[in-house]
Structure 1
Amino acid sequence: MNKKYIQKNYINLCSKVLGTKIHRFSDQFFGSASRLLKEEQPIFKEGVYDKNGKWMDGWETRRKRIEGNDYVTIKLGLPGKINFAEIDTSYFNGNQPEYASIDACYFEKNKFNWVNILSKRKLHPNYLHGFKTQQNNKVFNFIRLNIYPDGGVARLKLLGNLDVSKLKFPNKKFDLLSILNGSKIVACSDEHFGRAENLLLPFKSKNMGNGWETKRRRGSGYDWVIIKLGKPGLIEKFNIETHYFKGNYPSHCSVQGLYSIKNINISKLINESKNWKFLIKNKNLKPNSSLKINSTKHIKKINYLKLNIYPDGGISRIRAIGKFL
């Protein structure tokens, strides 16, 4: 299964955006365990040392002089099912662990009942490892990364989907498109300069690189992104933001919606999306601003949403205020 498919069908449950945090660790002498959860790509700082030795952009334990292995336990911000694991040893060369494994559990009633979701695997230096996990029909809220016997790991990603049935939603209206509420990107035309999944982040964009941006279009057509909601819902208001996009924002946009209980093939979904009902049509956009659109007259139950931008450019966030059914 290719990486592009995985990225479009799963989210990183280890993301700090979801509230994921380090719970416990055996050791972090050379590098903080919290660096495992960083969103940014690992970097290397030539000649930079701290009080314990060479600074490394990852979790690194001291050399083990006793029996056993090192580990870190991580509390997932939101419970979910895990399908793939990425263990990145970028820049760890000669100090990477020899092997790694992953255990997981759903912590409740003060009990950790661990099950293995990734058996002991060989790790290579300076390499991004991708593994399919086991037990991917089970819901977990804690994981434990075991390394054998010691060493450094730059990043850990656990790719899967939130278990919407275990999420708690407020009684008042809220953003149905937030990644925190189970929404995810399923397809997009282009994301040359910025990932489409940034559209669903719950906080205001930090800079231009923190939004969705497509390449300059040199032919006819337009760019688009398709979002699957965590649950079917009714949308009353839209908020489309172009923060930090000043000379590269789209001319205008439109929004379409669909409700379907079928498990639709992605290619078919894309082809049929041209005929979805318009919720917003041809709204002009402005640079570095927020467009609020009242959509009450268009309220329809939907679980798929398509944002079209004409002809190309960047959008920082899209929010759909309403309620799940």
Structure 2
Amino acid sequence: MTDPTTPSSGWPDLARRDLGGAVVWANDEAFAARQNLVAPGPPVFDPTTFGPNGKVYDGWETRRRREPGEDVAVVRLAVPAIVHDLAVDTSFFTGNYPPEVAVDGLGLDGTRHELLAVSPVKGDTVNVFAVRCRYPVSEVRLRILPDGGVARLRVYGQAAPDPALVDALGVVDVASLELGGRVTDCSDRFYSSPENLLLPGPARSMGEGWETARRRDDGHDRVEIALACEATIAVAELDTSWFLHNAPARAGLRGRTAGGVWHELLPRTDLTPDTRHRFVLGDVPPVDAVRLDIHPDGGLARLRLHGRPTAAGRAALVARRSGPTPEDTP
């Protein structure tokens, strides 16, 4: 099932471990390890599990403070990003959650930016906060006041990759979460999130892809993706690895131009189960969004859209990396 912490804004979590996020430091993890904060799935709880340090929690938990202060964990994002939402998930922490939290971010120039002022949180709750800061940050610092446990920290935003790196690579996967691609619409998330399509690396099981429920009507399923920037796509990769008996029978791709017109990039094409398909698209216009239609339903492991950013697309990457101009700042 889709992680219930995802806010309605739809930005991806760029702190998650399977994307490359990591908890690089914490001042205390006496009861539960800091790396649990960025585990990709929702937290779980077993009331019977106890370890040598006490109750085992799927989260980060510090010891009881007997002096003034606060506890801190530092999370390196998978890629520098403009943060739009934060979720401080205290699931299963009922008598040992922190009453207040705060979050700041480290800017690319070393400046600290406040993402969330000291704010109250509830126990056993996904506490979601909107963020107003529009400077890209490479890491975030979670402060819990004074101590306690947090199951997950989700940092939702848009990746701000280095344009020089994109230039050096030439052809890049412009749907990648690491570059700023994101899912904007999806017909069905029954078994797993469509964001899995855009994760780096190959899927290691069927559970790491996107899978829909079985259709009992004449329709079909789809997912729409905003690209990292406007680009001309040269090769589309539709990977059905691990989907042995539930891959789509066929799939097609359409792309949206900057003027809002949708063009066919790949006509409806037969797919083979458990196979990585690569299609050369030929002469297609630059697009800033792509819609994948699968017929009638099923699952894919990954979707890659290899292309070159246009001049306008590269300019958008530069602007995102630079942060807001003075007139953009409230």
- TM class by smaller structure: 0.7 to 0.9
Which amino acid in structure 1 is aligned with residue 89 of structure 2?
A: D
For residues 134 and 228 of structure 1, the distance between their equivalents in structure 2, rounded to whole angstroms, comes to 22
Which amino acid in structure 2 is aligned with residue 138 of structure 1?
A: Y
**Deviation string for 1:6-43 (max 9, x for gaps)?**
45631112122442222322211111111100001111
Q: 1:75 to 1:131 in 2, by over 3 A?
A: same
Question: How many percent of aligned residue pairs carry the same amino acid?
Answer: 29
Q: 1:166 to 1:31 in 2, by over 3 A?
A: farther
1:296-315 matched pairs, under 5 angstroms: 297-315=282-300
The alignment's TM-score, normalised by the length of structure 2, stands at: 0.86
Aligned to 1:288: 274
Aligned to 2:202: 204
Q: 1:198 to 1:181 in 2, by over 3 A?
A: same
What is the SS of the residue equivalent to 1:292? strand
1:50-69 matched pairs, under 5 angstroms: 50-69=51-70
For residues 316 and 7 of structure 1, the distance between their equivalents in structure 2, rounded to whole angstroms, comes to 24
Aligned residues: 306
For residues 36 and 12 of structure 1, the distance between their equivalents in structure 2, rounded to whole angstroms, comes to 12
For residues 289 and 63 of structure 1, the distance between their equivalents in structure 2, rounded to whole angstroms, comes to 52
Aligned to 1:106: 107
1:224 to 2:197 alignment: no
Aligned to 1:267: none
Gaps of 5+ in 1: 263-271
For residues 116 and 198 of structure 1, the distance between their equivalents in structure 2, rounded to whole angstroms, comes to 30
- Asked if 2 retains the 8 angstrom alpha-carbon contact of 1:164 and 1:230, the reply is no
Alpha-carbon distance, 1:70 to partner: 0.7
What is the SS of the residue equivalent to 1:35? helix
1:279 to 2:265 alignment: yes
Aligned to 2:328: none
- Asked if 2 retains the 8 angstrom alpha-carbon contact of 1:235 and 1:320, the reply is yes
For residues 66 and 9 of structure 2, the distance between their equivalents in structure 1, rounded to whole angstroms, comes to 43
- Asked if 2 retains the 8 angstrom alpha-carbon contact of 1:107 and 1:142, the reply is no
Following TM superposition, the consecutive aligned residue runs of length 4 or more in structure 1 with deviations greater than 4 angstroms are: 164-167
Which amino acid in structure 1 is aligned with residue 224 of structure 2?
A: I
For residues 9 and 247 of structure 2, the distance between their equivalents in structure 1, rounded to whole angstroms, comes to 24
For residues 142 and 6 of structure 2, the distance between their equivalents in structure 1, rounded to whole angstroms, comes to 25
Aligned to 1:322: 307
Q: 1:60 to 1:193 in 2, by over 3 A?
A: same
Which amino acid in structure 2 is aligned with residue 300 of structure 1?
A: P
